[in-house]
A and B are shown apart, each in its own frame.
Chain A
């Protein structure tokens, strides 16, 4: 009796193992079969009728970090993987700080970041791949306000201006929806828009974790103002404010009349691995630019050098 039970158990274990192994096996063959191109090293540019050469490199890499940049990297990576069989690119989230420290300690091949690397991370090589634009969004009850000057924003984010009526809006208290102090988006806002730090706190201030929650809170809280990446802000359908009279458009970013944008980075430790280099190069191809436009980023090559210079670390 006991003997049969034991043999049952052993058989169960073997069956499970067999299933596991066969599942793994079929998985790898499927992924290899689904990629269209064969093992050619340099594919011809004619595939999309656009000049955008790319180098197919086999292998697998991991990129991690910035949640803002992740959609773009994922999109470009999946295009690359569709063209080059044998390339395996994983894109993880975690935040810019995680991206930088993971690239630094070698646990990922590429660290995605909204911010420049910190002191003590000098061996990280910066690859600037795109410009992300942020929008100021306000709750639907805030009518009549289309534009805020930098001075007005300073007063709002220091808690001096407490009511929308002071800036031409309805008689409604202002609620500021912030990101936590370590956030790259908040750092961008403070450095390039306010020129100082957000000092507002207390009941007129909400602090929320992600772009998505900021949008949700601005939608839900009467009189709320917040900032979020352009793509998320546009999807939300909320009113997007002008800053200093300039709309949040690509043209205004390129001429630097709209200040609320930042450079997105892909950091590698030293010289990148072949596949990492290929992916970073591919980000600058026409396919990469198409992804950037689709996801409300601006390709880095479209932004004049003089403009980029204004958003370098001091």
Chain B
């Protein structure tokens, strides 16, 4: 009897060790892949500066023509300023708009909604989380753009192309990242122990005060993860965004309202539409753009992690 137990324990240890080794290899592999991507992009990213690109104009000029086909003399110009601004503006605004909406929805599901409604709607949101971007992009192209055109065409001028641009891209990204942020936020809010709710209500809070002052702060870490994942999807989103941006450069207008509804650019759009055709220095320039994208997303993630770390609950 005792012998049998010992033996099964021994087997359990072996299984434990095998599992530990496998998990360790998985984790190590992940780290290696990430580091390899960084090194690969980094090495390729600086090539273009030895091939005629000037670092100053690269970041501040807005004339992007890496193969020189758009120039009479065939001289390439590397001005990624417009593309970088596009990526930052579109990502930042879509996340800023999506976050409060998503938190509100998540609070509704965890604190307010009757259980049958949650059971009905939550699976629906989870289905939307995995919606293919080409579907959303096509929806943007045939529904959102004509709609925006009718809405703001008269104000912006240029009726026919009004609607393409940042505004449509932000709406498309909202559709894509809201379900992600909502469903992860729901899990984060559910993980807040009931004692927090009870304590807050016992101190005389209203329901709103309980949610806003007790539950949200208690779930900060989880909520930050939700926002970071949403942001990651927004900044890397390529197909859907390129279908609705449709620009060749940053519009020359100084009108801050009109600029959102005119054909415009961002980094991922240009990589999507032009990388396959580019060659030589032009191709290297796209590696630089991809590296910049990596850096921007890295910075965004760091900022949101920092904000989350200032949580009242430590």
Give chain A's interface residues, CB within 8 Å of chain B. Answer: 1-3, 5-6, 67, 93-98, 100-101, 118, 120, 173, 175, 178, 180-184, 186-187, 190, 196-199, 201-210, 213, 216-217, 220-224
**Could you list 7 examples of A-B contacts with CB < 8 Å?**
A94-B276, A96-B276, A178-B248, A182-B67, A182-B277, A203-B162, A206-B246
A118 with B280, Cβ < 8 A, contacts A206-B263, A208-B273 known:
yes
Closest residue of B by beta carbon distance from A216: B141
The list of the 7 closest CB pairs from A to B, nearest first, reads A95-B276, A209-B273, A207-B248, A181-B70, A203-B158, A182-B277, A97-B279
Tell me if B158 and A204 are in contact (CB < 8 A): yes
Tell me if A203 and B12 are in contact (CB < 8 A): no
Q: Which residues 165-208 of B sit at the A interface, judged by CB distance below 8 A? A: none
Tell me if B160 and A223 are in contact (CB < 8 A): yes
Closest Cβ–Cβ distance, residue B240 to chain A (whole Å): 12
Of A181, A203, A210, A221, which is within 8 A of B67 by CB?
A181
Closest residue of B by beta carbon distance from A97: B279
Closest residue of A by beta carbon distance from B141: A216
Closest residue of B by beta carbon distance from A205: B248
B249 in contact (CB, < 8 A)? yes
Contacts of A206 in B (CB 8 A): 161, 164, 246-247, 263
Closest Cβ–Cβ distance, residue A219 to chain B (whole Å): 10
Contacts of A190 in B (CB 8 A): 69
Tell me if B278 and A97 are in contact (CB < 8 A): yes
Contacts of A5 in B (CB 8 A): 15
Tell me if B72 and A196 are in contact (CB < 8 A): yes
Give chain B's interface residues, CB within 8 Å of chain A. Answer: 8, 11-12, 14-15, 65-72, 141-142, 145-146, 157-162, 164, 242-243, 246-249, 251-253, 262-263, 270, 272-280, 282-283
Tell me if A3 and B161 are in contact (CB < 8 A): no
Additional 8 contacts, C-beta under 8 A, given A209-B274, A217-B246: A2-B8, A97-B282, A118-B280, A120-B280, A178-B248, A182-B279, A207-B248, A213-B243
Closest residue of A by beta carbon distance from B246: A206
Tell me if B248 and A203 are in contact (CB < 8 A): no
Contacts of B14 in A (CB 8 A): 6
Taken together as a complex, chains A and B put the C-alpha atoms of A220 and B146 apart, in Å, by 9
Taken together as a complex, chains A and B put the C-alpha atoms of A196 and B73 apart, in Å, by 10
Contacts of B243 in A (CB 8 A): 213
Tell me if A98 and B142 are in contact (CB < 8 A): no
Tell me if A209 and B242 are in contact (CB < 8 A): yes
Closest Cβ–Cβ distance, residue A190 to chain B (whole Å): 7
A220 with B142, Cβ < 8 A, contacts A95-B277, A202-B252, A206-B247 known:
yes
Taken together as a complex, chains A and B put the C-alpha atoms of A178 and B141 apart, in Å, by 16
A100 with B279, Cβ < 8 A, contacts A3-B12, A203-B161, A205-B263 known:
yes
Tell me if B65 and A181 are in contact (CB < 8 A): yes
Closest Cβ–Cβ distance, residue B284 to chain A (whole Å): 11
Tell me if A173 and B158 are in contact (CB < 8 A): yes
Taken together as a complex, chains A and B put the C-alpha atoms of A113 and B65 apart, in Å, by 20
Tell me if A182 and B160 are in contact (CB < 8 A): no
Tell me if A183 and B277 are in contact (CB < 8 A): yes
Tell me if B274 and A175 are in contact (CB < 8 A): no
Closest Cβ–Cβ distance, residue B158 to chain A (whole Å): 4
Taken together as a complex, chains A and B put the C-alpha atoms of A98 and B270 apart, in Å, by 15
Tell me if A180 and B15 are in contact (CB < 8 A): no
Taken together as a complex, chains A and B put the C-alpha atoms of A216 and B145 apart, in Å, by 13
A181 with B161, Cβ < 8 A, contacts A202-B252, A207-B247 known:
no
A180 with B270, Cβ < 8 A, contacts A97-B277, A203-B262, A216-B141 known:
yes
Taken together as a complex, chains A and B put the C-alpha atoms of A187 and B162 apart, in Å, by 27
Taken together as a complex, chains A and B put the C-alpha atoms of A5 and B12 apart, in Å, by 10
Closest residue of A by beta carbon distance from B16: A2
Taken together as a complex, chains A and B put the C-alpha atoms of A203 and B152 apart, in Å, by 14
A1 with B71, Cβ < 8 A, contacts A101-B283, A207-B273 known:
no
Taken together as a complex, chains A and B put the C-alpha atoms of A2 and B160 apart, in Å, by 68
Taken together as a complex, chains A and B put the C-alpha atoms of A95 and B66 apart, in Å, by 16
Taken together as a complex, chains A and B put the C-alpha atoms of A98 and B272 apart, in Å, by 13
Residue among B67, B71, B252, B253 with the highest chain A CB neighbour number at 10 A: B67
Residue among A67, A209, A217, A223 with the highest chain B CB neighbour number at 10 A: A209
Taken together as a complex, chains A and B put the C-alpha atoms of A180 and B67 apart, in Å, by 10
Tell me if B263 and A203 are in contact (CB < 8 A): yes
Taken together as a complex, chains A and B put the C-alpha atoms of A268 and B4 apart, in Å, by 67
Taken together as a complex, chains A and B put the C-alpha atoms of A138 and B291 apart, in Å, by 39
Closest Cβ–Cβ distance, residue B153 to chain A (whole Å): 11
